[in-house]
Structure formats: structure tokens, C-alpha cells
Amino acid sequence: MLELARLRADTPGCLDKSFLDSAGSALPPTPVLDAMIGHLRREAEVGGYLAAAEREVELGAVRGSIARLIGAAPGEIALTDSASRAWTTAFDAIVTSEGIGPGDRVLVTNAEYASNAIAMLHHAQRAGFHVELVPNDASGQVDLAALEELLDERVRLISLVHMPSNSGLVNPVRAVVDAAHRFGALVLLDACQTVGQLEIDVASLGVDALTATGRKWLRAPRGTGFLYVRADLLTRLAPSAIDQAGASLSGASYTLQPDARRFEFWEYDVAARLGLGAAADYLLEIGMAEAERAIRANAEALRAGLARVPGLRLRDRGIRPAGIVTFTLARHDPAPVRDRLRAAGVIVTVSPSSSSPLNMSDGGQVDVVRASPHYFTSPADIERCVDAVHTVSRDC
């Protein structure tokens, strides 16, 4: 069982309000904040180089902590300043190094994140491959039968989103991977909304690469993210942008790092990286299984409460929605609903349909109110949210 009181005491920001935006940017716990602020102070005292040297052990351990969280090896992890940086770096390296070009096909799903879609279309224009959409099934998840139909040996890569930012649905990763690998296609998984929310084991998922952000469910600072690349794939991949972290120079020739550090740059925000490490360690101590259980239970309690509000429509799709709860309210636009909830001390966001621009199913998509409870969310937080939504629903 989680020690809710202790976890909440570690999260001062959750005590005076109902904070339900961990899918946007969660509240970092005190150890994360302390690691970062302590380091910034130290940088001001002795300079950034000496301050970083004093934290060499902690900094060297961050990749290992992230790796442990997803069942990877430390050498398969590159630390980045965002998930989008990780994703675009991986996508670019795959397209370039695997020679994906004219006549080749890249498959994408309805859940694709806007930034990924833009990067993909940009590369498609330059390299001449085709981007094709795999439709959803009736549940809203990627349609596995349609995927089978689309697959052939010209499909080189599938971009899959584990959980979109605007729905609790969880895509069936293993089934997509198995189908892809039968045709020799790679799978790049955007796990921004699931790392830190759901138990993830890259070996059992079988994905070739995975990207995630720090600031969401991991409760790490903004400006952090990471890339996982399977060990036997990463040695085949060279990023387009390399510096003295990604490679070493001897004379007039350079050698790429043998591991995922080839995707990193030398300069980085040291305080933020220490915060990322502290966040991963904090979660490892709680236990990912416990965290997932609590998040799912909180989301289910919230859905159950909201379902009783007149005029409210839950918008989450998928067979077993997880920690993201989305809804619309009859006669009320999402933005004013969000604002009124905020005024009542309930922090939610509006997830615009533009965040998944490829989603043409469900008769075109709508903007939704998004409430994303974490494991530190209390029953009183959920009640406060449901009560506030009830109050809004009574006004016309």
C-alpha cells in the first residue's frame, strides 16, 4: 500500500488544491526540488564545472535509474531536454541510417502527437517515403486487423503512441510490435503519457525505441526527457547532429559512442538532470506497480463520480482506459469549464483536438477537459473535482 500521507507531505503543492494535471506537468516531490535548487546554489558558489564534478556519482547514475524503471540497460538510454527532442533524434537517425526513402512506407496511428507528425512529414518530404495512417478499431485503439492489411515489406517503421495526451486509452503495443517485426519494420513508441504512469518493460513490449518526457507522470522537472534504443539497433544508428558527447575525436577522425550517449550533446542543464534522477529514484522507491495501481484506482473513482454529473460525457476511449480522464459538458465549452474549476481550486486542462491532428475518427475530434490524477491524489481531491463539475453543470 502507498503511504498517501507521506507522499502528500512530500508534495506541498497538492495540499491546498485538487491538482489533476499530471498528464500536462506534474508536481515534483520535495527531493526533486531540493536536488535542483541545491545544485543551482552550488553553481553560484563554485561555478558550474566544479559543482557538476561534485555530483559526478549522482549524474552518472541517472541513466541507470531511468533504465531500471523501464527494464532497459543504462547504455540503451540517452538523456535529452524533452521527449520531442528524443523522438525527432530517433526518427531522424532511423530514417537516415536505415535508408528509408522513395517507395518506402512509414505507418502512423490516429493517436499521433502533433510534433511527431510534423517531424515525420518534414522528413517524408525530404526523403521521399510515404506516411500512411492506420485506422482505429471500434474501441478507439489502433486497428490490428487493418494494420495486418497495410503491412508489407515496404513498411520500414511504425510510429505508435502508447497513450495519447487527450484520452485514457492504451494502445496494444506488443501486438503491433509482433506484426511489424514479421515484416522487418521497426516500432518507435511514444511513451510520454505512460512512463511513470504504467508499468513498462521494454523487453516484454519488444519496441525498438521509446521516448518519454520528465515533467509528466515521472514528476521530474521541465526540460527533461529521454530516449531508449534497443542495444542491437542503436549501433546501426547515427544521429545527424553529433558533438563531443556523442563521439570522440582522434586526429581527423571521430568515433561514435558505443552506446546511446551517441544521441546526447555535451552541454545540458545539470540541475534538471539531477532532478530527473531524483524523480526516477523516488518512483523506484515507491514501486511502479504500486504507483500504477493507485493512479488507475484514482482515475476510475473520478470517472465513476463524473459519470453521475448530468450532461457530462466521458470521452476516454480504449478497452481499459488508465490515468487520463477526459470529458465534455453539454452546453459548456471546455475552456470556461477549466477556468471555473481552477477558480474552485481544481487544476485541470483543456486538451485540444489539435494535439492529435491525424485523428479523423469519431466524426472528427473535439476539445476535451482533461483531469489526470496521480498516485498522490486523495479521495477528497476527487470529490472536490466532481462537486465542482456538478456546480458548473447546473448553470446554463
Ligand X SMILES: *Cc1c(COP(=O)(O)O)cnc(C)c1O
**At closest approach, how far in Å is the CB of 193 from ligand X?**
5
Cα–Cα distance measured from residue 388 to residue 396, given in angstroms and rounded to the nearest whole number: 15
For position 359 contacting ligand X by CB under 6 A, the verdict is no
CB 158 within 8 A of CB 111: no
- The residue among 221 and 305 lying less far from ligand X, judged by its C-beta, is 221
Number of residues that bind ligand X (CB under 6 A): 12
Helices (H) and strands (E) in the chain, counts: 14, 15
Q: What's the CA gap between 342 and 67, in Å, rounded?
A: 36
Burial of 161 (0-12, 13-18, 19+ CB in 10 A): buried
* Distance of alpha carbon 73 from the chain centroid: 19
**b/e per residue 134-145 (b: at least 16 CB within 10 A):** bebbeebbbbbe
Q: How far is the CB of 324 from ligand X (least distance, A)?
A: 9
Q: Which of residues 73-102 bind ligand X (CB under 6 A)?
A: 82-84
Residue 256 Cβ vs ligand X, minimum distance, rounded to whole Å: 24
Q: Does 192 bind ligand X (CB under 6 A)?
A: yes
CA distance 47 to 42: 7
List 213, 326, 359, 377, residue binding ligand X (CB under 6 A): 213
Q: Say how far apart CA 340 and CA 363 lie, in whole Å.
A: 28
Helix (H/G/I), strand (E/B), else coil: 22:
coil
CB of 114 to ligand X, least distance (A): 8
Among 88, 167, 193, 326, interactor with ligand X by CB under 6 A: 193
Q: Which helix (H) or strand (E) holds 190?
A: strand 186-190
Query: Which span sits near ligand X by CB under 6 A: 56-64, 171-179, 188-196, 302-310?
Result: 188-196
The answer to whether 372 contacts ligand X (rule: CB under 6 A) is no
Q: Work out whether 110 is an interface residue with ligand X (CB under 6 A).
A: no
Out of 21, 104, 190, 381, the only residue in the binding site for ligand X (CB under 6 A) is 190
Task: Out of 22, 165, 171, 298, name the contact with ligand X by CB under 6 A.
Answer: 165
The amino acid occupying position 18 is S
| Nearer CB in complex with ligand X: 55/370 | 370
| Least distance in angstroms from the C-beta of 115 to ligand X | 6
E strand map for 191-339: 209-213, 225-229, 247-250, 253-256, 312-314, 325-329
Please report how close the Cβ of residue 387 comes to ligand X at its closest, in angstroms.
Answer: 28
All three cell numbers of 169, joined, read 486509452
**Cβ partners under 8 Å of residue 8, min gap 6:** 14, 15, 376, 378
- Minimum gap (Å) between residue 24 Cβ and ligand X: 8
Return the number of the residue (164 or 305) whose C-beta is nearest ligand X: 164
Alpha carbons 231 and 185: distance in angstroms, whole number: 17
Question: Cα(136)–Cα(138) distance, rounded to whole angstroms?
Answer: 7
161 binds ligand X (CB under 6 A): yes
For the four alpha carbons of 200, 203, 207 and 213, in that order, the dihedral sign comes to positive
Q: Using CB under 6 A as the criterion, what x/- string covers residues 35-74 for binding ligand X?
A: ----------------------------------------
Q: Is there binding between residue 225 and ligand X (CB under 6 A)?
A: yes
Query: Length of the chain in residues, anyone?
Result: 396
228 near ligand X (CB under 6 A): no
Using the minimum distance from each CB to ligand X, give the nearer residue, 164 or 239: 164
Cell numbers given for 35: 536536488
* 161/270 with CB nearer ligand X: 161
What is the nearest approach in angstroms of ligand X to the Cβ of residue 254? 28
Task: Name the residue nearer to ligand X (CB basis): 110 or 393.
Answer: 110
Interface residues toward ligand X, by CB under 6 A? 82-84, 113, 161, 164-165, 190, 192-193, 213, 225
